[in-house]
Amino acid sequence: MIEVNANQDEERVEEIGENHVGTSAETPLRKDAFDISDEEKIERIQKSVKDILDTLGMDLTDDSLKGTPKRVAKAFVNEIFMGLNPKNKPSTSTFENNYNYGEMLVEKNIVVYSTCEHHLLPIVGRAHVAYISSGKVIGLSKMNRIVEYFAKRPQVQERLTMQVVQALQEALGTKDVACVIDAKHLCVNSRGIKDIESSTVTAEFGGKFKEKETKQEFLDYLKLETDFQNL
């Protein structure tokens, strides 16, 4: 039975091929994903990276390479994929909207560094996030940290966009949240079709942002030039 299932999985992978596939708004994690410590994960990944480099024929006795397996392992666990671990989820404390600001708040040009879960190559771009307060406001830097948290994991851009919106909706107690992400995928830019010019744009609109007028207002804000070099 196990062999049959393995064959079916392999056939499914072959069928998907280079197609871009997403499964759900939840990051696919096993239930035992955090049963071992970060230190043990680093140790295991270090061995795996060493095996990969050995298989590729790299000389790991060379001074330039001998530390690479451990560097990669630490970067995976502590930086590049740190958003997988719930302990790294940023605080989303909010405050009362005591000044009764009733228009949308837009945080533009949030830098996105993520990793495509299909080829483990970088996704680099910008996120633009907005919300309309229903009585609560959130610190501006928290919006950046929420984007960073969900970006720092193997990702699909559509899922990332949805997760940012859902996290802010939960924190703010409102559906009136929107996110647009424009990013380059190195799995497209540096391999395969090798199209260095193309980028991918995804959007998620909740509540009032689904209304044509509100959506257009948000998109118009994104067109504003933001240049403070001469200040």
Q: Is 179 a catalytic residue?
A: no
Q: Is 185 a catalytic residue?
A: yes
Q: What is the largest CA-CA distance in the chain?
A: 68
**DSSP letter assigned to residue 88:** G
Given the residues 20, 119, 158, 217, the one annotated as active site:
119
- Encoding tokens for residue 10? 């392999």
H/E stretch holding 184: strand 177-185
Given the residues 46, 116, 128, 179, the one annotated as active site:
116
Given the residues 46, 107, 179, 185, the one annotated as active site:
185
For residue 181, which of 130, 119, 140, 117 has the smallest C-alpha distance?
Answer: 130
Q: Is 119 a catalytic residue?
A: yes
**DSSP letter assigned to residue 117:** T
**DSSP letter assigned to residue 91:** P
Q: Is 128 a catalytic residue?
A: no
The residues, ordered by sequence, that sit 6+ positions from 218 with a Cβ below 8 Å of its Cβ are 104, 106, 130, 178, 180, 209
Given the residues 118, 158, 166, 169, the one annotated as active site:
118
Given the residues 46, 155, 157, 163, the one annotated as active site:
157
Q: Is 20 a catalytic residue?
A: no
Q: Is 118 a catalytic residue?
A: yes
Given the residues 46, 107, 155, 187, the one annotated as active site:
187
Q: Are strands 104-116 and 177-185 parallel, antiparallel or unpaired?
A: unpaired
For residue 145, which of 178, 167, 176, 172 has the smallest C-alpha distance?
Answer: 167
Q: Which residues are tagged catalytic?
A: 116-119, 157, 185, 187
